[in-house]
Structure formats: C-alpha cells, structure tokens
Amino acid sequence: MNTRQSFFGNALWNLLGAILPLCVGLFAIPFLVRHLGVERFGLLNLSWLLVGYFSLFDLGIGRALTRLLAEKIAQGKYADLPSLVNTALVVMRWLGLGAGLLLALLAPWLADWMRVSVEIQDEMRLALWIMALTLPFVVLSVGWRGVLEAYGRFDLVNLVRIPLGISIFLAPVVVLLLAEGLVPVVLSLAVTRLAGWWFTRYLCLRLDPMLVGQRAVDREQLRPLLSFGGWMTLSNIVGPLMVYADRFLIGGLLSATAVAYYATPYEIVTRLWVISGALTGVLFPLIAGKIAVDRPGAKALYGRAMKVLFLAMLPVVSTLFLFAETGLAWWLNSDFAANGYFVAQVLLLGVFINALGQVAITVLHGAGRADWAAKLHLAELPIYLTVLVYAAGKYGIEGVVITWLLRIVVDMVVMAFLVERLLATGYRFVFGLIGLTSLVMGLLWLAGAVVNEWMRLFLLCLLFLPCAILLLQQLRLLGLETGKLTASPRT
C-alpha cells in the first residue's frame, strides 16, 4: 500500500480538484443560461442543490468512517479495516435507497410548488425522478471517498473529483448541442454520477485489496459509526437545509428568475470555499488522530490553520468584492450585474467568515464532538427560517442574503468559542480573531464605496504585499506542525 502523501501535496490536489471545474463553469454557465433560458437554468441550479442535499443522507457515516479509519491506521489496527469499511457501506447503501425513494415521492409536489411555467412542470418532475435513481450511488461514493481520505490519498480522490466536477458543467453543454430541454441535461449528469461511483470504488480496492471480500456487518464496528454519525445526521439535515433554504424560498415566494439572479453569483462566489476545503479536508484525519493524545499540539495546528486561511482568503475575497459589478457585467450581462452584484458582495463577506468557521468545526468533528455543531444548527433552524421567510417577502433577494450573512457570522463566532472550550485554553485567540475579522470587513465595505477603479486597485496592492509576506511565514510554520503529525499507513 502506498504511503500517505504530504500535507501540502494533498491540499494542492484538493485545490486543483475544486478550481479546475470552476474554470470550466465560468465559461459553461453563460452558454447554459443562453440555451436553457433563465427559468430552466434556475431549475438546473435547484437540481444541483437537491442532489447535494440528499447525498448527505448518510447519517454521517461517511465522515465517521474517515475518522475511525484514520485512528485505526495510526494505531496499526489494519485487521479491523475491511469489516469497518463494509459495515459502513452496507448502512450507506440502504440510506441511499431511502434518499432516492424520498426524492421520487416528493418530485410531484416540488414540481407543483415551484412557480414555473406550466410547460416546464412536466420536465422538472421527470428530471427529479432521474436524480432519484442516482442517489444511492451518490451516497455510496461518499463512503468510498472517505476511505481514500482516511488513507491520506487525496491525489486519488481528485482523480475522480476533477473529471466529475468538470462534467457537471461540460456534460450539459455537450447535450444541449444535440438536444433541447432540462431532461437530457439532467440525464447526462446522472450518467456522470454513476461513473464517479464506480471509479472511486475501483481506486479504493486497488489501494488496499484487503478491503474486498468482507460481507458481514460487524456490530462492534457499527456502534462507533452510529454514535458519531448520529449527531452528524442532524448537521447533515439541518445544516444543508439552512444552506439551501434561501434559493427554494426565493423560487417559491418570488420566482425562478429571481433564483437565477441569486443562485448564479452564489454558485461562483461560494466556490471560494475550495480554499478552506482544500485545507480542512486534509486537516480532519490529522486532527482526529492528534487531538486525543496532544491537545497543545492540536491547538497549535488549529491556530496555524486559521492564520493561513485568513491570509490566503482575504486578498481573493477583497478583489472580487471591489469588482463584483464589473465582473458580473463582463461575465454575463449588465442585467445580471445590476440585479446580482449586491448579492455577490454580501455573499463574499459570508464566504470569508464561513471559511474560518470551517476550520473550527473541523476541529470539533475531529475531536468527536459533532453533537456541539448539531445542537447549534438545531437551535438556529427555526429562528433562521422564520427570519428568512419574512426577509424574502419584504425585501426580496437582498433581505435573503443579509439574513444568510447574519447566520454565517453567528455560526463562526459560536464555533470558535466552542473550540477554545474544547482545548481548555484562554479566549484570547478567539477575541483577536473576531476583532480582526470585523475590522477587515468594515474597511472592505468602506473601500467598496470608492468610485475610481484605479484607486481600488491601489488599495488592493497595499493589501496584497503584507498578506503575501505573512502567508509565507505561516505556511512554513504550518508545514513544521503537520510534518510532526503526518503518519504513514502500512506499506
């Protein structure tokens, strides 16, 4: 079996796995808008969201599998790996079937509830049924990907992730050159999902042939999977529900056209989470093995990761924030720019803040405290949905995006305090983080009021230089920390 790859090598693979599909999407989305029309493109966005949401109906087993495998690999308990993997995948298989059945049953209601043209309702209903058939394979793909992540083989993860991510945008483009309508587009996406499941499974069995052959469910392995996954279930249901509720409420209370004006900048802006995802994806199996034996070391790793992410995200977010309207007009058209630039700016602030929160929640999950995050999301849900409905009805998409931002801020602050409590240290770091983030966001908003674009470029140059210098320093220190932690699986 191959050894675990380096921390930065894995992070780079994760970054490429997200950026390359994004580059294809930048060129594909204008084509899709023109050929599908704004209304059908809004429904395609909702189709992507539905697959993403229902694929999380794995009761947290995928995340639990990664965590438990990482611990057993670090402890050298290789004989337990086949039974653990099989037990998790059997459970996920049934959960995937249940998710597909639920979506199939909900399809007629969703098609009637959405405010779409009568001639499109039948297309939407059939598209939902096609997606329902693919959901079991999507859920199983999560489990097999978790195996590769536990082994630290993010290179293999992204050998599947990159072509799959590109196909989400490219397959609809190819299909629209040959056919018309929403159904052929969704059918092409279903085929790519099936291919992704098969190839991920193939790579796992090539990596460790001992994983094949085990068929019985091990009840002793099932207990820790369900124990950790139980609380992850709430996060998997409530968390994405809050993430996706905004677009569905816009579609139901306003229109599918409004969904397009909101969801299009959302799909692009939130792709910046690839930066935090590249870091936290590699961080999770490392922190899971480290936090139980060396909390001071885990705290140092957490602090370095926060600083690196802050310095890496800030210049990118600032650039897009200051040129949001110009960028949307160039990329799509002036209509999208006029209706979507404010949404894009607020989303950018939320993406930056949420990226920091992702580091915090990764530490909580690595420590096995998924219950803290789940309880927070459960408490937020009724308040958030109530405010969201009111804001959508009274202020339209602007009210929706402001409500979304406020929830993101609350999440980040509470998660950061929970990590400080978990690591049993003082609260100096978290107060400094909140203060610095607030200051930077305030200055960024003031800079957005500058009319002259050359002055905006000058302000960005003043920001880039100190961020680059500090980032290089923090990357070196993070490399030293992770060099101490990186373990090698059996060879």
pLDDT of residue 248: 67
> To the nearest whole number, what is the mean pLDDT of the chain?
80
Q: Inform me whether the pLDDT recorded for 3 exceeds 70.
A: no
Q: With a cut of 90, say whether residue 213 has pLDDT above it.
A: no
The tens digit of pLDDT for each residue in 295-319 reads 777 788 888 889 999 999 999 898 8
What is the tens place of the pLDDT at every residue in 146-186?
899 888 888 898 889 899 888 888 888 888 888 777 788 88
DSSP state of 424: T
Q: How many helices (H) and strands (E) does the chain have?
A: 16, 0
**CB of 147 within 8 A of CB of 64?**
no
- Predicted pLDDT of residue 359: 92
Q: Are the C-beta atoms of 145 and 197 separated by less than 8 Å? A: no
Q: Is the pTM of this model over 0.75?
A: no
Helix axes 7-36, 453-485, angle to 10 degrees: 140
Residue 433 in this model has a pLDDT that exceeds 90: no
Region 68-78: mean pLDDT is 77
pLDDT of amino acid 208:
83
Residue 212 pLDDT exceeds 70: no
pLDDT digits (tens, 9 = 90+) for 21-43: 878 877 888 877 777 776 677 77
> What's the first-to-final CA gap in the chain, in angstroms?
5
pLDDT at 489: 46
Residue 464 or 331, more confident: 464
Question: What would the pLDDT profile of 118-156 be if each residue is shown by its tens digit?
Answer: 667 777 778 788 888 888 888 888 888 889 988 888 889
pLDDT confidence of 10, banded at 50, 70, 90? confident
pLDDT for 445 equals 82
CA distances from 285 to 73, 202, 363 (A): 10, 22, 10
